[in-house]
Structure 1
């Protein structure tokens, strides 16, 4: 039986187009701000790393937000992570970034305009036939208001994929502060301004990536309803556009 999603979570035409185009090298995504003559083009899909998710439970969230700082220093509970309601098979998965370029000039200086258009976790290579917003375990689809988009928020313009079962250990390097200032963290530096944290006791990983102000988490479903891709975009259109 072919998968039929919940219309309340379905990506609108513009969002669905963007989610496909962002991972198509050579695709045209628009024009540079204030310069309609210069296109923004997808230049590369880069495999940043692979990551282990042994629990099959996935957090897609910021590793920390500003409100966590004082609470963490005082030994108070911080906000819970945004774990997705959907489950995936335990395994090792690719993390990929879609890069775009839109050259521009600013005060006489020229820039290449290279930006991250989207980051995705590749669960399988099966074709995606539809996109929907990914709910968190605390979200209730029946309480969504028309046009509302469940999402995560990020003060530092970062997000991450992480194994939910090892979240406390994996997020710890991002939650260490002194006098309200982050202590330099011991993480593995990856291409594309990404970072990775490993928990060898649970064979689980966290991969941090760029995410402007956070964002909607998108699930790419196959014809049988299985999740093939999980995507977070930067500056993309809304789901009902």
Structure 2
């Protein structure tokens, strides 16, 4: 990605990665994760990552190495080959160090413990964006001699990625058979999930336990009553098992001609990495559709679970206004799930979809 995008992601605590090279070959990647966490990979002479280092921030503004995982490859080994000799060092929050080793070809680890923290005496300063020199100290452990300055280059732009839900052609096709992530061979069963009353036409897509603090989507629809349906994956091997693959709020039955992310006011799709999408977070194994003026009362997780019972989706009345929300289970449980809107040929909104990403794109 362009360095301007990476800098913006750094400023708002989003993931990005920097690749350091020498003589045209990779020597180190630096990944910035949320909450100030970092991950560094070092490469061997064959271009294989042979050393993974995790770091976390400390109150004094430095970074502490909390885990090192090293591989000793032979010429025959592939990257991260489990049969290679390995050593893993972890540091607990209390400073206790655990070292585990695995000889080449072994299936088990041997462990020893010791009290001293290997990196306490030389913590790494938490860098500002572009200041990668503190991380180059890790390269000297592999015998590299590092220059006093680094030159940054923008990465080539990735090819455009499909802007539509996974398996959009089959998500709501009853009887379609798919290979589902974490479920296996499955058949799709589409079920009605209720009717959502939308007095304002402004939709909130969220975990129901956090919907009262979630901004509505920017795209609005005419006020009215709109049907909700859920796509259920039924395992062919265990047909009694079912998982919600997607939920759809239908505005019109006209065909969808184009898909785009369903954005909240603060969403910025230009900050997305190539494998990311605009989504909503789930901590209670449930999602919901609800109108922005529903004036959500304080309802706990148990109430939503009681409303669902053994079903995949249910309508829940919002006591303060008499409005309703449609609650649905989310895939395999908690996580982050993309939300999309589909438009008709003339640009009107046809539907909103919450996608649990259980089936491959264009399945």
Q: TM-score, normalised by structure 2?
A: 0.48
Report if aligned partners of 2:231, 2:245 keep a CA contact under 8 Å in 1: yes
CA distance, structure 2, for counterparts of residue 205 and residue 34 of structure 1? 31
The answer as to whether partners of 2:230 and 2:247 remain within 8 angstroms in 1 is: yes
Q: CA deviation at 1:141?
A: 3.5
Find the aligned partners of 2:176 and 2:182 in 1 and give their Cα distance. Answer: 17
Q: Is structure 2 residue 327 aligned with structure 1 residue 208?
A: yes
Q: Which residue of 2 aligns with 1:3?
A: none
Q: Note the alpha carbon deviations across 1:69-89, whole angstroms, 9 max, x for none.
A: xxxxxxxxx983142111111
Tell me, yes or no, if the aligned pair for 1:57 and 1:87 is still in contact at 8 Å: yes
Contact 1:48/1:95, CA 8 A, preserved across alignment: yes
User: Which residue does 1:90 correspond to in 2?
Assistant: 223
CA separation in 1, counterparts of 2:182 and 2:290? 33
Counterpart-to-counterpart distance in 1, 2:213 and 2:258: 29
CA separation of 1:203 and 1:239: change in aligned 2, threshold 3 A: farther
Other structure's SS at 1:224 match: coil
User: What are structure 2's unaligned runs of at least 5 residues?
Assistant: 1-159
> Cα gap change, 1:164/1:236 in structure 2, threshold over 3 Å: closer, same or farther?
same
In the alignment, what sits opposite 2:203?
Answer: 58
Give the CA deviation at 1:121: 0.6
RMSD (Å) for aligned C-alpha atoms: 3.4
Q: Whole-Å Cα distance in 1 between the matches of residues 359 and 173 of structure 2?
A: 17
Deviation at 1:142, TM superposition (A): 4.2
Partner of 2:115: none
Distance between the aligned counterparts of 1:173 and 1:131, measured in 2?
33
Q: What's the counterpart of residue 73 of structure 1?
A: none
1:232 to 354, 358, 362: 354
Q: Which has the larger radius of gyration?
A: 2
Whether 1:197 and 2:347 are equivalent positions in the alignment is no
Structure 1 match to 2:85: none
CA deviations 1:175-226 (Å, max 9, x no partner) are: xxxxxxx565697558733232324764532111112424110111111111
* 1:100 equivalent in alignment to 2:233: yes
* Preserved CA contact (<8 Å) 1:51 1:207: yes
Q: In 2 relative to 1, CA 185–18 (structure 1 residues): closer, same or farther, beyond 3 Å?
A: closer
Q: Where do 1:218-229 residues align within 5 Å? A: 218-229=340-351
Q: What residue in structure 1 maps to residue 187 of structure 2?
A: 41
Structure 2 CA distance for aligned equivalents of residues 238 and 32 of structure 1: 8
Distance in 2, Cα, partners of 1:204 & 1:31: 35
**Aligned pair 1:121/2:216, yes or no?**
no
> 1:16, CA displacement in angstroms?
4.8
**Could you say what secondary structure the match of 1:152 adopts?**
strand
